Chains A and B, each alone.
Chain A
């Protein structure tokens, strides 16, 4: 059974600080997705990474896929209160079924 360990599970920081969320596995993924979810809403896709070593940027968010396609990170620079939410990573296995991390609840205090 493939597992995807996401850390930290909870993070509360001040506005303007930087942070990194990690997703790690011992298995290789075909791709890895990052989602952000607000309370009472469905997850919204932020990015899909496919190639080992790939780096994608979305404004202040930087996503990296590990060289071996087993791990990924999300780095937020100068966090803002609007970044508050639940961040979920999900790796696609060889059948393109998603394996989900436990989620990171992020709170940015003004």
Chain B
């Protein structure tokens, strides 16, 4: 099956610093990847759609200058949380869509971010 990796799995940083999270499709090429945020005991909240070779599409209310997304290759998308603050602490999950599957997404294992 399609495998998506995510790194790091956990990160603790100081307020004001930037954190980069990587999302890789290991055994397939993904022209479209997605970044989600999940709060405790809740469903997934889509932050942005990452398209290879073009600018990401952000959902309403998500600051594109704070959450920088780069999808420079068919197997790698990165999310950089700039000038992180404690309210950015959350569980961030990426996914990749497999072509020809009518929308099926495969998810990475997630990154737990804690901003002190």
Measured between alpha carbons, how far is A89 from B87 in the docked complex, in Å?
28
Q: How distant is the Cα of A43 from the Cα of B108 in the complex, in angstroms?
A: 8
Is the beta-carbon distance between A41 and B110 smaller than 8 angstroms?
yes
Taking A43-B44, A103-B42 as contacts, is the C-beta distance between A31 and B103 under 8 angstroms?
A: yes
CB-contacts of A54-110 with B (<8 A): 88, 90, 92-93, 96-98, 100-103, 105
A88 to B41, CA, bound (A): 12
Tell me the bound Cα distance from A26 to B44 in angstroms. 21
- B103, closest chain A residue (CB): A92
Interface residues of B, CB < 8 Å — how many? 24
Task: Say yes or no: B102 contacts A96, CB within 8 Å.
Answer: yes
Complex contacts, A3 vs chain B, CB 8 Å:
none
Q: Which of B4, B6, B105, B110 has the most CB of A within 10 A?
A: B105
User: In the complex, A45 Cα to B107 Cα: how many Å?
Assistant: 8
A40 to B103 Cα, complex, angstroms = 24
Instruction: Determine the chain A residues whose CB is within 8 A of the CB of B106 once the complex forms.
Output: 45
Q: How far is the CA of A42 from the CA of B97 in the complex (A)?
A: 15
Q: For the complex, is A30 an interface residue (Cβ under 8 Å from B)?
A: yes
Within 8 A of A (CB), among B71-113: 91, 93, 95, 97, 101-110, 112
B54 at interface, CB cutoff 8 A: no
* B residues with CB within 8 A of A: 1, 4, 6, 41-44, 46, 49, 91, 93, 95, 97, 101-110, 112
Q: Which residues of A contact B (CB under 8 A)?
A: 30-31, 33, 35, 40-45, 48, 50, 88, 90, 92-93, 96-98, 100-103, 105
